Amino acid sequence: MKRRAAFLKLIRYPNLIYIALTQFLLQYCVVAPVLRSSGVDPSLSVTQFILLCLSTILIAAAGYIINDYFDINIDIINKPEKMVLDKVIPRRWAMAWHSIFNMLGVSLGFIVAWKTGQIYLGFTQVICSLLLWFYSTSYKRQVLVGNVIISLLTALSVVVVGFYEKQIYESFAAIMSDTGRKLIQIIGVYALFAFVISMIREIVKDLEDMMGDSKDGCRTLPIAWGVLAAKRLCNILLLVLLVTILLVEIKVATFGWYAAIVYLVLLVQLPCIYVYMQLKKAHLPEHYHKVSSLVKVVMLTGILSMIFFKIFL
């Protein structure tokens, strides 16, 4: 039982649930209702969607494993009590599971791509797997590069669902149709949200892990540019997030979706302001850990807002 709990911790199972929930809500609360309102069925069958979702989760799990593998020296300093590699799970087993998950994830991605007649889409998972490997081995130790890569991959976990819809890949005319443009706009907003909120969390995590990162020779943003610069960038990103949500609220107000506006104000915008206030006075690792947890809550409430498309469309 101890090893099973350690393995679940290693693959960050709560984060995998976030990914699965995001893709499920996007497919069945956004994509399917938008298409069916135009008399069109989704391109992916239930089985194909499950395989795509599973493929994404396996690639992400492999990424978490390899990240911990190369972060052992950092984690000994930053979070020795939370380590599972070497303590519970041998490193050779971690590498084995990383390889197995990657092979399964990529294979499932190509199966779904082949079934939909768009085999080239299978290379999306290959690219994600390679980026996660290079992130763990080098990119995360460079100023902003690692943060941007993880944030792009987070956004890609949203966008990839849309890649498999005929309204997006079939033709330019399909993209420019009312349904195509609506899908791209909605998916684009959620992808932007995912990118920005992920960037904020990655920078906050860099602030939390400064001690271990600096001893391992990492050049993360707070180490290279200073804590104040890192906080300022987070504040700019929070402002981008708040303005984007405000524009969304103005748009949905024209449809009379007032319940959605109340939800966004209370459960997304106000928590963002609270994150700003907590980040402003944070100066210890435990403070930054609290802010990071708050950002995850905002990520969840933002994801759950997709439910309103199911209600109102």
pLDDT in tens, 9-67: 999 999 999 999 999 999 999 999 999 888 888 989 999 999 999 999 999 999 999 99
**Residue 161 in tokens:** 């669902």
- What HEC string does the chain produce? CHHHHHHHHHCCHHHHHHHHHHHHHHHHHHHHHHHHCCCCCCCCCHHHHHHHHHHHHHHHHHHHHHHHHHCHHHHHHHCHHHCCECCCECHHHHHHHHHHHHHHHHHHHHHHHHHCCCHHHHHHHHHHHHHHHHHHHCHHHCCCHHHHHHHHHHHHHHHHHHHCCHHHHCCHHHHHCHHHHHHHHHHHHHHHHHHHHHHHHHHHHHHHCHHHHHHCCCCCHHHHHCHHHHHHHHHHHHHHHHHHHHHHHHHHHCCCCHHHHHHHHHHHHHHHHHHHHHHHHCCCHHHHHHHHHHHHHHHHHHHHCCHHHHHHC
- Mean pLDDT computed over 143-150: 93
- Domain of residue 210 covers 2-312
Banded pLDDT at 174 (limits 50, 70, 90): low
Total number of domains constituting the chain: 1
* Residues 89-127 as b or e (16 or more Cβ within 10 Å = b): beeeebeebbeebbebbbebbbebbebbebeebbebbee
The pLDDT assigned to 211 comes to 85
Structure tokens, 52: 């795509």
Let me know how long the chain is. 313
pLDDT at 264: 97
187 within 8 A of 161, measured Cβ to Cβ: yes
Identity of residue 254 = T
Q: In whole angstroms, what is the distance from residue 36 CA to residue 17 CA?
A: 27
Question: Residue 270 and residue 273: Cα distance in Å, rounded?
Answer: 5
The model carries a pTM of: 0.93
> For residue 271, what pLDDT is reported?
97
With 90 as the cut, is the pLDDT of residue 180 above it?
Answer: no
Q: Report the C-alpha gap between 275 and 298 in whole angstroms.
A: 9
How many other CB atoms are there within 10 angstroms of residue 275's CB atom? 25
pLDDT at 1 over 60: no
**Which structure tokens are listed for 158?**
């949203």
Q: Please tell me the distance from the alpha carbon of residue 121 to that of residue 124, in angstroms, as a whole number.
A: 6
Q: For the chain, what percent of residues have pLDDT higher than 90?
A: 70
